[in-house]
Amino acid sequence: MAMSRKVRMQHPQYRVAFVFGGGLALSLLCALLINRIEVLGVWPDIPTLYVLFFTIFGNPKGRYGPCMAIGFMRDLLSGGPLGTYAILYGLVNRFLSPRRQMLFRENPVTQMMLAAFVVFGVNMAYHASMVIVGAGIGWSNATEHSLRIAAVTGPLMPFMSFGMILLFAKLNIARLPGGNYNV
Amino acid sequence: MARRKRMMTIATPFKHPLVLAVLLYLPLAISGFGLDLRLFMLEPMAWASGTAEAPNHEELSDDERKALQLASLQDQVAELAWENELLRQGYVQLSAIKAELPELSDDAILARILVRGDSSNWRHTIYINLGTEDGVSVGNPVTIGHTLIGKVREAGLNISAVQLITDADCVVPVTIVPGAPTMPEERTATAFTKHIDPDNDWRDNIFTDVLQLNRGLMRGEASAKPRVPNLPISDVNLESRVAEGDLVVTNDAQGHFPSGLLVGKVSQVHNRNTFLDLVVESAMDLTITDVVTVIRHRRPTLDENMRMTMEKRHLDKIEEDK
């Protein structure tokens, strides 16, 4: 028991690079490139997929800290109040990380569905954060907008997982007991 | 060994870091915290947009030095061509403002777009290379020519964040001008100037009773459309004479924007029995330019507003007495 706990909690590899480098790179990608592509009138929400991947596959050490850091990177390049995405991504990790073993996370179909659900939730919550300060586009419009973002983003999750797992193999990142990657 | 049961009190949930973060976030979000820090971090980009000095290559051979000089000259030519293009765009925009809104031309200054985008799916922001040192302040309208694209959300020393009219947090008071000339198919910074009829006096009549009815608030809808977004105007008076193709311009009802900046044209009119819902095809197209115009328009204070209203009423009364 003590041994398995020790293995599970071993120091993550490349965490700083994946959290700060990856978070900043994806935020820049969103700010400079992705917003030139329009699919169904919306842009895909790639940083949320990255956070979801970290949540369901990453080393649980550090709890929601890494996800909050990725959210903070995104907040830095967004016009909204600082900390909105940080808190939302922290909550995503808080709610999904303890349930990662029950999510059939290796299956591309469940990955897709989970990604669509999480992206929808994050975008609705972001709209709620705007409503708090007196902005927003109305709840029915926001629901439609969030559903479209979820529909565009969800199918990308298996590709992101596949790409990340390939990258982990190249970097010799160990797989921990329980199926988590040591990042 | 039996685990000690933790005592649950009212304060227990508040000890969770995420709950604390949410509680800390709410007042900061309402107060608009964060943009100062962001602009402070992006400030080096504004400095980097200046020119750098060429390094000294004394240790190189003649051929290598000539090759470097040639490369440097080619860079200079490319840079001058780019600068020329920016100046051309700026000239076109200032000419458009001078032709259409001469009263604003003294307050208009040109800015270069540094970052064109936002990492959020809901916010639409661009960053420009002017700040408080250039006289830019929060709330200043930003245009391409005389076409409104947004307003300054936050101003740093040499950099400012511009909230676009498509941002979900942006509201623009507008007037729909009946019978105004329709928008052309071609989308350039001067396209509208060419097509507005100088004999049409709609701008002189912008405060008349007819146009008072045709007022509304246009809201951003976070659309991802990179060109020609469609923006909604809700709750327009049912008695207003609005038709598809009418021009939509800003009004200064709230003092945020000067009157007469072009917003777009009405593309759809929906009758909701008690009011009208309109959809505006915005004239904003950020893909056609690298330069924008900041209009250093100051929102009048309450006193100034009152004085202007009193003066207007006084003049009206004098005219009536005549």
Q: Is B237 on the interface with A (CB under 8 A)?
A: no
Q: What is the pLDDT of residues B136-177, one digit of tens each?
A: 888 899 988 888 889 998 888 888 889 988 888 888 888 888
Cα within 13 Å of Cα(A116), Cβ side: 12
The structure tokens 């949410």 sit at B22
pLDDT at residue A130, rounded to an integer? 87
Buried/exposed code over B121-148 (b: 16+ C-beta within 10 A; e: otherwise)? bbbbbbbbbbbeebebeebbbbbbbbbb
Instruction: Quote the DSSP letter at residue B39.
Output: H
**Lowest-pLDDT range of B62-71, B126-135, B182-191, B241-250:** B182-191
Q: What is the mean pLDDT of residues A159-175?
A: 89
H helices of B207-280, in order, are: 209-213
Q: Greater confidence, B237 or B278?
A: B278
pLDDT at residue A151, rounded to an integer? 93
B142 contacts in A (CB within 8 Å)? none
pLDDT at residue A3, rounded to an integer? 46
- C-alpha–C-alpha distance, residues B253 and B175, integer Å: 10
To the question of pTM greater than 0.80 for the whole model, the response is no
Q: What is the pLDDT of residues B193-225, one digit of tens each?
A: 433 444 445 555 554 555 566 788 888 887 766
Instruction: Quote the DSSP letter at residue B279.
Output: E
Share of residues in chain A with pLDDT > 70 (%): 95
The structure tokens listed for A32 are 């400079």
Q: Which amino acid is at B9?
A: T
Q: Is residue B47 part of a domain?
A: no
Q: What is the pLDDT of residues B248-278, one digit of tens each?
A: 888 877 678 888 888 888 888 888 888 888 8
Contacts of B174 (CB under 8 A, 6+ apart): B215, B216, B217, B218, B233, B248, B249, B250, B251, B263, B280
Q: Is residue B236 part of a domain?
A: yes
Q: Is residue B96 part of a domain?
A: no
Q: How far apart are the first and last CA of chain A?
A: 22
Q: State how many domains chain B has.
A: 1
A32, B116: Cβ pair inside 8 Å? yes
Which domain, by its residues, includes B210?
170-288
> CB neighbours (10 Å) of residue B47?
10
Q: Is residue B245 part of a domain?
A: yes
Q: Is residue B108 part of a domain?
A: no
Provide the 3-class DSSP secondary structure of residue B176.
Answer: strand
Read off the CATH number of the domain in which B260 is found.
2.40.10.350
Q: At A137, is the pLDDT very low, low, confident or very high (cuts 50, 70, 90)?
A: confident
What are the E-state strand segments in B272-309? 276-282, 291-295
Q: Is residue B157 part of a domain?
A: no
Contacting A residues, span 72-131, partner chain B, CB-CB under 8 Å: 74-87, 90-91, 94, 123, 126-127, 129-130
Q: At B65, is the pLDDT very low, low, confident or very high (cuts 50, 70, 90)?
A: confident
Parse chain A into domains and list their residue ranges: 14-170
Buried/exposed code over B150-176 (b: 16+ C-beta within 10 A; e: otherwise)? bbbbbbbebbbbbbbbbbbbbebbbbb
A42, B21: Cβ pair inside 8 Å? no
Q: At A124, is the pLDDT very low, low, confident or very high (cuts 50, 70, 90)?
A: very high
Q: Is residue B28 part of a domain?
A: no
- C-alpha–C-alpha distance, residues A90 and A95, integer Å: 9
Please answer whether residues A123 and B121 qualify as being in contact, where contact means their C-beta atoms are separated by less than 8 angstroms. yes
Q: Greater confidence, A142 or B27?
A: A142
Question: To 5 degrees, how large is the angle CA B138–CA B141–CA B144?
Answer: 135
A41, B32: Cβ pair inside 8 Å? no
